[in-house]
Amino acid sequence: MKSKKLFLLFSLILFCLSGYFLFIRAESSKTLLHFVQISDIHLQHNYANDAVRLLGSSEKLLKDAVNEINEIKDLDFVLGTGDLVDVPERKLVKKFIEITKSIKYPFYVLLGNHDVSVGGGLGKYGFIRNFYKLKNATSFTNKKPYYSFSPNNKFTFICLDGTTDAVVTPHGQIQDPEQFEWLKGQLEANKDKYVIIALHFPLIEPYKSQTHFFLEPDRTKLLDLINSYKNVLGVFTGHYHAARLTKIKNKIHNSCPAVVQYPNAFREVIITQDDPKHISFNFKWHSVNGEELRNKSKNSSDSWRLTAGNKEDQEQIIRLRVY
């Protein structure tokens, strides 16, 4: 009888301890940040043609994406990593703003090469003026094409400008040399936070391209500076319309898929702290509504094999060591 009581007592203690450790683990894995990244929308007029890029359906795709984003609960913000419009016309920029103002979360955007006109038109500063003049503006609030924001006291996002208005080109570069000095200052000022770099142009190519890569020596200079800071957790990009997730030197290089081209998707990102020395990024996949449209883009070219990526490029949990 005594041994039975001891067994029951021991079982009760084990049960309580297991519940306690589950509670501690749940507490230590609480969400630090929850956001959506959307890229390469290429908003165009409805009379444009649908092919590999579904330009004629780009408005529908954007509206569908906005509706899907609004169905996700408890987002901290939405990040748009460039090529918001297909051509930098004032009418298209205003339509983009009109559609996306219904996003119920703060929306931050940055420049892609399609957003910048060359030899007239809006130009960089004409484009960003449409955003920083908005009531309750979030983007380009320093009136420059690069800026930073801190969604909470643990994270800072540094949004860089890799475009040029000197020549028509899909290559990434740093046109303004002052941006490097500004970036250095931002990295130094945020050494006590986790930092994520947002940039339209990947610094690590998701696939080899002769037309889209980031020009040297700017690419190496940026990578060396970013890699010298252990608190920089990743570089979030678009441009190639390709889904890739790569971990290099304890940093995530995240190439986001395009809304306008197959696989017509965006990412949901949930960042959690697993323990004092590790942090996890949970990348979740969201296809934009319309299987028929996605198939039209897919069947228009074999390039879908490059843009879709594999299963791990679409959804994956990546764990990083923090210092």
Write the pLDDT tens digit of every residue in 228-246.
999 999 999 999 999 999 9
Residue 309 in any domain: the answer is yes
Residue 123 CA neighbour count, 13 Å, CB half: 6
What would the 3-class secondary structure string for 229-293 be?
A: CCCEEEEEECCCCCCEEEEECCEEEEECCCCCECCCEEEEEEEEEEECCEEEEEEEEEECCCHHH
Exposed/middle/buried for residue 137 (C-beta within 10 Å: 0-12, 13-18, 19+): exposed
Task: Identify which has the larger pLDDT, 79 or 7.
Answer: 79
Supply the pTM of this predicted model.
Answer: 0.90
Residue 42 has pLDDT above 80, yes or no: yes
Residue 12 has pLDDT above 80, yes or no: no
Average pLDDT estimate for 267-272: 98
pLDDT of residue 120: 81
Residue 164 has pLDDT above 50, yes or no: yes
Please tell me the least confidently modeled range out of 13-17, 148-152, 245-249: 13-17
Classify residue 203: in a domain, yes or no.
yes
101 in any annotated domain: yes
The residue ranking higher by pLDDT, 247 or 119, is 247
Q: Indicate if the pLDDT at residue 6 is higher than 80.
A: no
Beta bridge partners of 107: 78
Whether 10 shows a pLDDT value over 70: the answer reads no
Residue 3 belongs to a domain: no
Whether 270 is in a domain gets the answer: yes
The letter for the amino acid at 142 is: N
Parent domain of 280: 29-321
In the chain, how many domains are there?
Answer: 1
Predicted pLDDT of residue 65: 98
Q: Read off the pLDDT of residues 287-321 as tens digits, 9 standing for 90 and up.
A: 998 899 999 999 999 999 999 999 999 999 999 99
Arithmetic mean of pLDDT, 123-151? 97
pLDDT at 96: 98
**What value does the mean pLDDT take over residues 177-187?**
97
pLDDT for residue 23: 40
The neighbouring-strand residues paired with 147 are 159
Q: Across residues 179-204, what is the average pLDDT?
A: 98
Q: What pLDDT score does 293 carry?
A: 94
Tokens of 205: 């190519």
pLDDT value of position 3: 55
- CATH code of the domain in which 80 resides: 3.60.21.10
- Sign of the dihedral through C-alpha 234, 240, 241, 244: negative
Asked if the structure places residue 23 within a domain, the reply is no
Q: How confident is the model at residue 21 (pLDDT cuts 50, 70, 90)?
A: very low
* Residue type present at position 228: S
- Calculate the alpha carbon distances from 248 to 14, 17, 212, 234 in Å: 41, 38, 21, 9
What's the whole-number average pLDDT of the chain?
A: 92
Q: What value does the mean pLDDT take over residues 245-257?
A: 98
Mean pLDDT to the nearest integer, 38-51: 97
Q: Is residue 9 part of a domain?
A: no
Residue 64 forms part of a structural domain? yes
pLDDT tens digit string along 272-292?
Answer: 998 999 999 999 999 998 899
| Mean pLDDT computed over 12-17 | 45
